[in-house]
Amino acid sequence: MNTNGKPCVARPLAISLIIFALFVSPLAPTSNAQRNRGKRQSKSGDAAALASSKRNPEIARIVSEINASNIERTIRKLVSFGTRNTLSVQDNPTRGIGAARDWLYSEFQKVAESSEGRMTVEKQTFEQAPGKYQRIARTTTLTNIVATLRGTQPASENRLYVVSGHYDSMCTSPTDAECDAPGANDDASGTAAVLEMARVMAKYKFDATIIFMTVAGEEQGLVGSTYFAEQAKQKKMDIEAMFTNDIIGSSLGGNGVHDPHTVRVFSEGVPSSETTEEANVRRGVGGENDSISRQLARFIKETGERYVPSMRVMMVYRRDRYLRGGDHMPFVERGYAAVRFTEPNENYNHQHQNVRVENGIQYGDLPEFDDFNYIAQVARVNAANLAALALAPARPKNVGIVTTRLTNDTDLKWDANKEPDLAGYEIVWRDTTSPVWTNSKWIGNVTIYTMKGMSKDNFFFGVRAVDKDGNRSPVSYPKPVR
Ligand SMILES: [Zn+2]
């Protein structure tokens, strides 16, 4: 299913074992993989054992330590502040966004104590003047809580992965700073998931750096996340992936559908940040479905379903829900790969609503409508992915399809990765109509490779890096090069 099926030639034992693992291990459950799963299992009865042997035990342990009770406790605490509207009071110790900010800061600081100094926590505070955002009418102080878990591999420590939730909330009116706005789902759920991931992961060492962030001002117009993303761009921070978790709280939709096994991951196809020149190239090569965010979504599906097999990652091929937005958008607009996690079916009675009963219907974003076990499952999908990304090599850079000769083969080249534990690379490919990568081939530690007899006209190709433990990077989609 995932390989060319040719036997590998003699190589040093360690590498051969990796190659063996790569050859026999299926790609993630994909539409094709699912269709062929029965076939594969009938051929090799222990397919399930092979798939689980491919799991990194450290990542599996992280996933198992995510705890729904902690998530529930965080959500109830956040709700207890009455409102977390960005315009609400900041100097009351028990009510308003200031109380929530201070409580989150101290919780992240407690978490950092178990990191042996690798995690630092800061308040990223800034003044937002009126004018830029309709929902901010006078100068307002906003604070993002940013907990940074430094990577331990010198070649990777400046490679960053960001996971975020927004801790601000709103009632029916986004500028009403007084009304109760419990925001138990939107977005105490995402905030609690991020804090729980930080608690579990602070004890572990990763090659690259992970930033656990809770931001303010989402409901005011993505204000906190925009500030962070703009600072990151100005400082040329190498953010390889950003996840926002927003409305991941309920497994029961307003449509009556109960689905605790699905999380939606939204990713854009055409990059928000591309220049006219880049758009011309994309049209010329048919790259509408291969942005860095789309590659990230495919990675999340593959990794999430491997480590949390009871969950289905439902990729949605659009930037966010129809005409709506979230905290990943300031990141994609600045050229970073970023996606949004959201529950499968929303309930609009419990979103952006004053708490009230009307005609026997309870409105408002209350904790009784959260499913804490579901939120923990979504946090597990996130944590597995963050760990997999931060343990794996960077995605290959400057990947190109060489166009100097007209040929029915496909010539690929890329820059060598810098990680000392790099094993080599895989070429992946799929039919042009396939939504996910369906095939892969281990090619060793080379930076140039020709796919013989496979025309770039007829397939999409990509390259990913693999380390000596079998950790794979997301796929890099090539540009045409000379
Ligand atoms: Zn939200």
Q: Would you place residue 12 in the very low, low, confident or very high pLDDT band (cuts 50, 70, 90)? A: very low
How many A from CA of 168 to the centre of ligand 1? 8
User: Is 443 inside any structural domain?
Assistant: yes
- Shared domain check, 418 and 342: no
User: Is 88 inside any structural domain?
Assistant: yes
Reduce the DSSP state of residue 402 to 3 states and report it. Answer: strand
How many A from CA of 343 to the centre of ligand 1? 12
How many A from CA of 219 to the centre of ligand 1? 7
- Output DSSP code: residue 380: H
Give the Cα separation of 421 and 11 in Å (integer): 17
How many A from CA of 157 to the centre of ligand 1? 30
- Structural domain that includes position 347: 60-391
How many A from CA of 388 to the centre of ligand 1? 26
User: Is 1 inside any structural domain?
Assistant: no
- Output DSSP code: residue 258: B
How many A from CA of 188 to the centre of ligand 1? 9
Are 328 and 292 spatial neighbours (Cβ–Cβ below 8 Å)? no
- pLDDT higher than 80, residue 361: yes
How many A from CA of 247 to the centre of ligand 1? 6
How many A from CA of 209 to the centre of ligand 1? 25
Full-model pTM:
0.90
How many A from CA of 418 to the centre of ligand 1? 38
Q: Would you place residue 54 in the very low, low, confident or very high pLDDT band (cuts 50, 70, 90)? A: confident
User: Is 4 inside any structural domain?
Assistant: no
- Shared domain check, 245 and 168: yes
- Shared domain check, 423 and 345: no
- Shared domain check, 415 and 327: no
What's the per-residue H, E or C state across 164-224? EEECCCCCCCCCCCCCCECCCCCCHHHHHHHHHHHHHHCCCCCCCEEEEEEECCCCCCCHH
How many A from CA of 326 to the centre of ligand 1? 7
User: Is 357 inside any structural domain?
Assistant: yes
Give the pairing type, strands 400-402 and 238-245: unpaired
Percent of the chain residues topping a pLDDT of 70: 89
- Shared domain check, 23 and 166: no
Structure confidence by residue, pLDDT tens digits, 73-118: 999 999 999 999 999 999 999 999 999 999 999 999 999 999 999 9
How many A from CA of 59 to the centre of ligand 1? 28
How many A from CA of 371 to the centre of ligand 1? 17
User: Is 3 inside any structural domain?
Assistant: no
- Shared domain check, 386 and 400: no
